[in-house]
Structure 1
């Protein structure tokens, strides 16, 4: 099977990770679950969330912890594997201190790796821009960077899903793509 790029986006607790897992299981290739979070041993709530995701996944899936070098992980993944990246927002948060010019290079490297891989890649991305504009600069940086990156990935994706309230909508079939700015 040739490359197929899928973006699954939606608000928190919407079912987007579960939908992405279902899609990955249907591909038919071995699955590499690319976990982008960094575990903080003092954050018990986060550890519990991560454990719930682990418990839900099939035991035969390979898990790779990739908090930073996502483009490299995609580029070096073995052929004929499906990569499920969960999540773009968590990966981005690991780079929030990166200056804008460096961030642009990081995102371009990621986009190039997504376009050049022969593997199927399913990315889970959070929708954070549906609420108020954050009152603090770091929150605005996160929201703006994630919105821009999600739009860039959506522009090159073969399929884009919006998952909300437990329902998945195929935006690539229902939506009208906007031109990139």
Structure 2
């Protein structure tokens, strides 16, 4: 009977032991993510160098650098001192645009894309164009030079623009309707 008590005591001691965490079968060091980050940095640097090279071929044009990582120049700049409004979150803008390669080969010609009505930051639009519109005033035409990560990125546009292609977009902003005006109209 004493032996049976000792055995039961041992089982109780083993059964009351706290559970140990299981170790993963394999561990990832994060090197894939680090490699991906490095590849992306190299691609961005390549895009930017190429765009700067192309801008260097046109010394007569005054290129401006945006804080968002792209370049642009004015084809038609507003000189009206009363025209100071740029689109803000929720404003509705009406614009036309065409897209070409950085070298100037047409991808979507003027008029090929329909005039677009867009609610700022509330609808889908590629990053660079969304940021570029915020720099414009009514009546202006601006040409933007976007590195691929500001354009259509890895996926392209699934039609004419391939993966990781830097582009040029010529945009004409026709109209800006303020958000507060939109709410009154509805």
- Alignment TM-score > 0.5, same fold: no
Using structure 1 for the length normalisation, give the TM-score: 0.25
Using structure 2 for the length normalisation, give the TM-score: 0.24
Which structure is higher in RCO with an 8 Å CA cutoff and minimum separation 6? 1
More helix by share: 1
Larger Rg: 2
